[in-house]
């Protein structure tokens, strides 16, 4: 598969994220899903009970970096990101998600 070929060519990483600011009720999850899919990444995104958006990203390291930068600076058009935090970064040998899902 193309995904397997891509995986062999580059290190796969997994990273958890949380985005703070005005990120709920502004289609942030939908835009994050769209951007992740455009980059060929898998994982998930969800709103938290304390007004943030959190999730996990997995894929080739360079693509993951691109989404991290997007989460830090861009987001959805109506969002106001104050900061994005990333943790639990690790190398993985196989993707643990089928696609990039919005969790509710």
- pLDDT band at residue 10, thresholds of 50, 70 and 90? confident
Q: Which of 22, 38, 47, 80 is catalytic?
A: 47
Q: Which of 29, 80, 83, 88 is catalytic?
A: 29
Cα–Cα separations (whole angstroms), residue 67 to 1, 62, 70, 74 = 23, 9, 5, 10
For residue 6, pLDDT beyond 70: no
- Round to whole Å and give the CA distance between 22 and 81: 6
Task: Tell me the domain boundaries of the chain.
Answer: 16-91
Q: pLDDT tens across 16-60, in order? A: 999 999 999 999 999 999 999 999 999 999 999 999 999 999 999
- CATH 2.40.10.10 for domain 16-91: no
Torsion of CA 87, 46, 56, 97, to 10 degrees: 160
> Is 47 an active-site residue?
yes
């Amino acid at each position: 598969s193309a995904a397997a070929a891509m995986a062999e060519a580059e290190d796969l990483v997994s990273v958890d994220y949380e985005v703070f600011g005005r990120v709920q009720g502004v289609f942030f999850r939908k835009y994050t899903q769209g951007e992740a899919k455009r980059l060929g990444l898998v994982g998930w995104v969800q709103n938290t009970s304390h007004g943030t958006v959190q999730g996990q990203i997995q894929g080739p390291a360079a693509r993951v970096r691109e989404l991290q930068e997007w989460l830090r600076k861009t987001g959805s058009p109506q969002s106001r990101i104050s900061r994005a935090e990333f943790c639990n970064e690790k190398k993985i040998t196989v993707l643990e998600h089928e696609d990039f899902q919005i969790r509710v």
